[in-house]
Amino acid sequence: MRHLPARVAHVRGLLYLLLALLPLLAQAAEPLPAWRDGPTRTAIVAFVDAVSKPGGPDYVAPAERIAVFDNDGTLWSEQPMYFEVLFAIDEVKRLAPAHPQWREQQPFKAVLDNDHQALAAQGMDGILKIVAATHSGISSDDFIARSRSWLGSAKHPRSGKPYTEMVFQPMLELLDYLRANGFKTYIVSGGEVAFMRAFAEEVYGIPPEQVIGTTLAASFQDQQGKLSIQRLPKVLHNDDGPGKPVSIDAIIGRRPIFAFGNSDGDLQMLQWTMAGQGRRLAGLVHHTDAQREWAYDRKSNVGRLDKALDQAQAKGWTVVDMARDWRRVYPFDTP
């Protein structure tokens, strides 16, 4: 009995520790901890609860719980330029000695002259020309290895972080949350599919077969018993705008019930998702945080959000106000 006071003190200390930890434990138990409480987070959680509750009026069988996400500006940042374009620009400079004609050909001349205004004037057609030239002429395996090498060494010009760390912590949590509730998550992006497959599984937990993007022509080759898929300098499908629903229909074969984007290039994907039967959710990431990320929308040359924002407001879609709704933007941010 003489040890009782010590035991009481020990138990009391454990109780005090438990009481101190309860708020942290409660927060950890809540889904989407990098999201602030508010209508956006509430809408997402309510939707997931509704479609995954057996016997509920909005229940959706797991096989039909398809969620699709744009990549650039939705899952990771896209300023000051789409990261894949920055990779392609570096590739133009690396490959230029073997292509002397590029010195006089646009858009390559603009890249080699570091003429950003001339490059911007080339528009999407110019970007696609650069992608076709720098993403082809090698096998798919070699291109993915080259992409991983660049991602492993290149640093973002503003943050100094690797590009694969410029991903959005709240969206990583959302992907995990959906998968924990029986969803199958896909990337449906204007980015070139092999470039995204170089990092998507490691960074997002999305395997290569669930990555859909712009595709180049390719050919099967057998060179003295060495088999390869060779990438050709021709864009077969531009997976942007109306190209996204076409890809979803051709590759997934099911209409999504959940879709997230951030720009007018995602509008048709969101429309296609919401046109189906039953309960659905369409979301937009609105870049409103100039301090932690960037603030841009209607007038931006990269990730312009204009018509899609109007439709989201008219249709009552979920719009994420980055500055208001996210506690953290990047994984390296202080919680």
Q: Is residue 5 part of a domain?
A: no
Q: Which domain holds residue 236?
A: 32-93+105-325
Q: How confident is the model at residue 26 (pLDDT cuts 50, 70, 90)?
A: very low
Q: Is residue 100 part of a domain?
A: no
pLDDT in tens, 256-309: 999 999 999 999 999 999 999 999 999 999 999 999 999 999 999 899 999 999
Count of structural domains, the chain: 1
Instruction: Please give the helix or strand (H or E) that residue 94 lies within, else none.
Output: helix 83-95
Beta bridge partners of 185: 67
Q: Nearest to residue 57, comparing CAs of 259, 278, 255? A: 278
Both tokens of residue 101?
């004609």
Give phi and psi for 282, each to the nearest 5.
Answer: -120, 135
Q: Is residue 15 part of a domain?
A: no
pLDDT at 25: 42
pLDDT reading at 14 higher than 90? no
pLDDT reading at 335 higher than 90? no
Q: Is residue 319 part of a domain?
A: yes
pLDDT in tens, 248-271: 999 999 999 999 999 999 999 999
- The answer to whether the pTM exceeds 0.75 is yes
Q: Does residue 108 contact residue 99 with C-beta atoms inside 8 Å? A: yes
Distance, first Cα to last Cα, the chain: 46
pLDDT in tens, 134-171: 999 999 999 999 999 999 999 999 999 999 999 999 99
For residue 148, give the CATH number of its domain. 3.40.50.1000
The DSSP secondary-structure symbol of 222 reads E
Residues 6+ apart with CB under 8 A from 115: 109
pLDDT at 254: 98
Q: How confident is the model at residue 10 (pLDDT cuts 50, 70, 90)?
A: low
226-237 vs 211-223, strand pairing mode: antiparallel
Q: Is residue 262 part of a domain?
A: yes
